[in-house]
């Protein structure tokens, strides 16, 4: 193989890898990169194509049974970070959107001025299309909620310990053995970097009760030690298992 052939094959490999990574991370990013390959100014073309496809997804997603959670509106329910919207991870079924809004409204009525923050939800299209690193979140019927936080006993509206709402764990004993492969990451090296907020136990307990009392909700995942310390239990409140991600940094629930 001469140098020109090697360079050509290498470009194909790199572009294929980029398409795969962007598809895994954003669902539509791989297609946007594929479109950009036809233009000289590739990066600019990618940004334009990605923005166009992401905007189009908002209008097309309802044909696949999903709607986009608003990333710009204020109110009791908000997406925690612009990142989730840019990566197209803010899509849910209409029923789940109603459950989220109802839960946020109830929390705001119980505790005026409370904002409920959504983390990862789902991609806009295709049931069964995974949302890494989650083991589920592939059908529009799952969503993660950020914990509520306080400082010196005062609720911090819209605040999270980590910039994306994940990986700031409430450390406690666990019955999970060390095993591989696993998505149960501890990220010990990150923990000192996060803000020193404490969880707002009253609000977290309340939202778990609100969700568990909603007939539309089927399962709620929260770490057992946290459920025990919050004094919440019931058939819907479960452990996610030892191979899945920890759930003492967020709440997962599904229809």
Q: In the predicted model, what is the mean pLDDT of residues 76-92?
A: 97
Instruction: Pick the range with the lowest mean pLDDT from 8-22, 64-78, 116-130, 163-177.
Output: 163-177
pLDDT band at residue 1, thresholds of 50, 70 and 90?
A: low
Q: Which CATH architecture has domain 68-254?
A: 2-Layer Sandwich (3.30)
Provide the mean pLDDT of the chain.
94
Nearest Cα to 155, choosing from 119, 102, 206?
Answer: 206
Q: Do the beta carbons of residue 29 and residue 85 sit within 8 Å?
A: no
Q: Give the tens place of pLDDT for each residue, 161-218.
A: 999 999 999 987 777 777 777 778 888 999 999 999 999 999 999 999 999 999 999 9
Residue 14 has what pLDDT? 95
List, for residues 55-65, the tens digit of each pLDDT value.
999 999 999 99
Statement: residue 245 has pLDDT above 90: no
* pLDDT for position 111: 98
Tens digits of residue pLDDT in 143-173:
999 999 999 999 999 999 999 999 999 987 7
Distance CA 36, CA 187 (A): 36
Q: What is the mean pLDDT of residues 68-95?
A: 96
Ranges of each domain in the chain:
3-62, 68-254
Tell me the pLDDT band of 241, cut-offs 50, 70 and 90.
Answer: confident
- Return the pLDDT at 6: 75
């Amino acid at each position: 193989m001469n140098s020109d052939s090697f360079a050509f094959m290498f470009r194909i490999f790199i572009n294929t890898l980029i398409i795969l990574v962007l598809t895994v991370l954003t669902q539509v990013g791989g297609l946007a990169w594929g479109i950009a390959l036809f233009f000289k100014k590739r990066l600019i073309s990618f940004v334009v194509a990605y923005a166009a496809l992401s905007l189009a997804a908002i209008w097309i997603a309802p044909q696949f049974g999903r709607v986009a959670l608003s990333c710009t509106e204020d109110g009791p329910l908000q997406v925690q970070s612009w990142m989730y919207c840019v990566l197209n991870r803010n899509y849910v079924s209409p029923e789940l959107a109603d459950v989220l809004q109802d839960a946020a409204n109830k929390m705001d009525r119980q505790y005026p001025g409370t904002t409920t923050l959504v983390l990862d939800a789902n991609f806009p299209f295709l049931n069964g299309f995974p949302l890494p690193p989650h083991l589920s979140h592939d059908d529009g019927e799952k969503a993660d909620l950020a914990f509520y936080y306080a400082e010196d006993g005062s609720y911090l509206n819209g605040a999270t310990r980590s910039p994306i709402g994940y990986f700031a764990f409430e450390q406690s004993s666990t019955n999970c053995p060390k095993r591989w492969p696993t998505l149960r990451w501890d990220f010990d090296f990150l923990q000192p970097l996060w803000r020193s907020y404490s969880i707002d136990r009253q609000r977290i307990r309340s939202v778990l009760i609100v969700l568990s009392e909603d007939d539309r909700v089927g399962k709620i995942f929260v770490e057992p030690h946290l459920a025990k310390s919050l004094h919440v239990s019931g058939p819907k409140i479960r452990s996610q298992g030892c191979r899945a991600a920890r759930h003492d940094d967020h709440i997962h629930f599904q229809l």
